[in-house]
Amino acid sequence: MLKWTEGQASVYCTLVERGAMKPADLVIHAGVAQGKIYSVLDELSALKGAVIKLDGRPTKYDAQNPRYVLDRLLGEVGDLKEKALQQGAEEAYEKRYEQMVRETTCWVVQGISGVMVQLHSLVANCNSSLKVTDPDLNWIGSSEHKMFNKLLREGKALQVLSTPAFKDILEDLGNNGADVRTSNGVSPPYYLVDGTAVLLRFSLPDCGVVIRDGAFVRGKVEQFDSDFEHGGKLEMESIED
């Protein structure tokens, strides 16, 4: 069972509630001694990204989504005090996220795990359609297949454009009701939800940017529709029958 020290819990929850901060500010707000703050941050970073060091100057740290930390790292925890801490952390992060959605049209998520959590969150609130452009579909696992199948069962549209190298994944999605196409010139990955939000995914470092700006999103919708129209249909019996 993975245990949190008092310092780790204080730093993590402070970042969850307040957002990215400099180590010097964490000393004040998290109540951790100045001589210990970097070792605590290093310990949290070592927990597969519970805390992430951001690029840029001055150096800042931010918390990974508590849902990822709990699901992937902690598992079932018996200690009631730790359970209460974790529940409070996730609630605080969700409030921060909801406020961010209301107040801004663009925000960054850190790490591939953060991008996936963000995609699941956007799809969970999808009303009509999801459009996926991605030259590499290796990130699609069982949880993503469940997410896509649920979307299709609810009568929402799913369109996926990728390279012929991922023909098997596309075929599986097509058999479940998605509209899939292939192209050898697929653009860098982005995911459009309802034509109102787009999640752009980048690498080196792995991160994502959510944009809700109307003009920008409309431009990406037009780009997707054009690329999709010119994409090749899968000529496979399992999809045609």
Q: Is the domain of 31 the same as that of 139?
A: no
Residue matched to tokens 């069962």? 153
Sign of the alpha-carbon torsion through 183, 188, 189, 194? negative
Provide the CATH number for the domain around residue 49: 1.10.10.10
Specify whether the backbone of 105 is left (phi greater than 0), alpha (psi in -120 to 50) or beta. alpha
Assess whether 94 and 109 both reside in one domain: no
Q: Which domain holds residue 230?
A: 104-240
Domain boundary among 55, 79, 99: 99
State phi, psi for 216 to the nearest 5 degrees.
-65, -45
Of the candidates 239, 107, 68, 218, the one whose C-alpha atom is nearest the C-alpha of residue 160 is 239
Q: Based on the fold, state whether residues 95 and 115 are members of the same structural domain.
A: no
pLDDT tens for residues 121-141?
Answer: 889 889 999 999 999 999 999
Count of domains for the chain: 2
> pTM for the full model?
0.64
| Among 99, 126, 151, residue at a domain's last position | 99
Q: What is the C-alpha radius of gyration for the chain, rounded to an integer number of angstroms? A: 20
pLDDT digits (tens, 9 = 90+) for 62-92: 887 665 565 555 444 445 445 545 556 666 6
- Amino acid at residue number 52: I
Q: Which helix (H) or strand (E) holds 92?
A: helix 80-103
Domain final residue, candidates 83, 99, 115: 99
Query: What CATH number has the domain bearing residue 187?
Result: 3.30.870.10
188 and 86 both lie in a single domain: no
Residue 1: inside a domain, yes or no?
Answer: no
